[in-house]
Amino acid sequence: MFTKLEEILKRYRFLSEKLSDSEVLADMSVWQKYSKEQSDLTETVEKYEQYLATQKEMQDAFALAESETDGEMKKLLTDEGYACKERLAALVSELKILLLPKDKNDERSCILEVRAGTGGEEAALFAADLCQMYKNYCAAHRLKVEEIDVSETELGGVKEGIFSVTGAGAYKLLKYESGVHRVQRVPATETQGRIHTSAATVAVLPEAEEVEVEILDKDIRIDIFHSGGAGGQNVNKVASAVRITHFPTGIVVTCQDERSQLKNKERAFKVLRSRVYDYYNGKNNKEREENRRSMVGSGDRSERIRTYNFPQSRVTDHRIGLSQYNLDSFIMGDIDSMVEALTIADREALLASEKE
């Protein structure tokens, strides 16, 4: 571990020199590349330098205690040395986490997809609640949410909602939300006061750049058709909705929210690139299928990562066995504590696998 930390420190200092070099300053693309790399290393370097300073402080304290003749001063120096030793142990744990392999997609923007699952109209209403929950959460983190395609029901539910979430770290904040979400409550459509169980699925895909995914003209079919749903006369008169079919993967993307055919096409391609990137990003097809199953499943009530129990005001994440009794604020977007707990659990799992 410390050999790796020394290499990182050496690289960081090399980059610091390069960033002040006149040749590098003259080439903005190179300067930005070095600056980004240095920025990525900064937290680890600062923590390691803190470790080195604490280590020296400990060694100095013990050395002075060894040569000290005054009993009281000797005890003070020894206590200081042991306090430094405790801080070193904590710093080692933090450094181990910083050295864990980072998800290359963490800093990307992402595509958020929410779909109603089992439960009819109540599932659609719950999907709408989830959409609003994520909008509020993203707003709190200064992420921009843009609707790409939303299919609503007459009662205000959402059959399917596809959104673009833009901003640094968007995928990192939302990636643990992928999966089946189950709700237990008395639906607005229920007249007997009975509690129903419904489900909605969430998928979070890292946004792919055009240069990362090559989509050939011969591999796609683009269909233009009339939009459905709200929109007044424009719905009937203008064929602006776009459907893109990608033959190699079988992926189909539809976008009809915009009245402009061009804008719908741009948004559809944005989603298509992310889905194709997600499709090929696995090491093999088996891994991809298992990942997608664990992410979305079938939408059945029995498959879930989280349950929202309204009668008990409880939200439970089944992956880490954590229950919180703040459902009112949680469904309004206050999900930070749950995301943090999932992040910590993920790090602990990675640390355990590294030891193996």
54 and 150 both lie in a single domain? no
Model confidence over 121-162: pLDDT tens digits?
999 999 999 999 999 999 999 999 999 889 999 889 999 999
Query: Is pLDDT above 70 for 347?
Result: yes
pLDDT at 226 over 80: no
Pair 55, 19 in one domain? yes
Give the whole-angstrom CA distance, residue 285 versus residue 261.
Answer: 34
Q: Do residues 113 and 182 share a domain?
A: yes
Please name the amino acid found at residue 228.
G
Query: Residues 210, 313: one domain?
Result: yes
Check residue 290 and give its pLDDT. Answer: 52
C-alpha to C-alpha distance for 12 and 98, rounded to whole angstroms: 15
Q: CATH no. for residue 297? A: 3.30.70.1660
Q: Tell me the CA distances in angstroms from 326 to 87, 287, 331, one per residue in order.
A: 35, 35, 9
pLDDT score recorded for residue 354: 64
d(CA 307, CA 181) in angstroms, rounded, equals: 6
For the record, the structure tokens of 73 come out as 């001063």
Q: Where are the beta strands (DSSP E) in the chain?
A: 110-116, 144-152, 158-166, 179-185, 196-206, 220-225, 241-246, 251-255, 306-309, 314-317, 322-324
Q: Going by C-beta distance under 8 Å and a sequence separation of 6 or more, which residues neighbour residue 30? A: 24
Domain final residue, candidates 98, 114, 132: 98
Q: Specify the residue for token string 């989830």.
A: 130
Tally of domains in the chain: 2
Where is average pLDDT lowest: 262-266, 275-279, 302-306?
Answer: 302-306
Best-predicted range by mean pLDDT (132-141, 186-195, 337-346):
132-141
How does 100-117 read in b/e, with b if 16+ C-beta sit within 10 Å? Answer: eeeeebebbbbbbbbbbb
Spatial distance between the Cα atoms of 57 and 318, rounded to a whole number of angstroms:
44
187 and 304 inside one domain: yes
User: In the chain, pLDDT over 70 holds for what percent of residues?
Assistant: 88
How high is the pLDDT of residue 351? 77
- Check whether residue 62 and residue 172 sit in a common domain: no
Residue 292 pLDDT > 60: no
Cα gap 353→330, rounded to integer Å = 31
Please say if the pLDDT value at position 68 is more than 50.
Answer: yes
Chain-wide mean pLDDT for the chain?
86
pLDDT at 288: 43
Q: Are residues 52 and 136 in the same domain?
A: no
Q: How far apart are CA 54 and CA 48, in angstroms?
A: 10
For residues 84, 89, 94 and 99, what is the CA-based torsion angle, rounded to 10 degrees?
120
* Whether residues 298 and 330 fall in one domain: yes
End of a domain among 98, 114, 140? 98
- The reported pLDDT for the residue numbered 282 is 59
Let me know whether 89 and 140 are in one domain. Answer: no
* Per-residue confidence (pLDDT) for residue 97, from 0 to 100: 82
Domain range enclosing 331: 105-356
Q: How far apart are CA 20 and CA 156, in angstroms?
A: 57
Same-domain pairing of 152 and 259: yes
Same domain, yes or no: 179 and 302: yes
Position 36 confidence tier, pLDDT thresholds 50, 70, 90: confident
- Distance between CA atoms of residues 22 and 30, nearest Å: 12
Of 50, 70, 98, the residue that ends a domain is: 98
Q: What are phi and psi of 113, to 5 degrees?
A: -120, 125
Strand partners, 163: 112, 147
CA distances from 278 to 24, 203, 272, 318 (A): 35, 11, 10, 25
pLDDT at residue 238 is higher than 70:
no
Give bridge partners of residue 147 from the DSSP assignment.
163
> Higher pLDDT residue, 259 or 47?
47
Give the SS3 label for residue 155: coil
Do both 91 and 223 map to the same domain? no
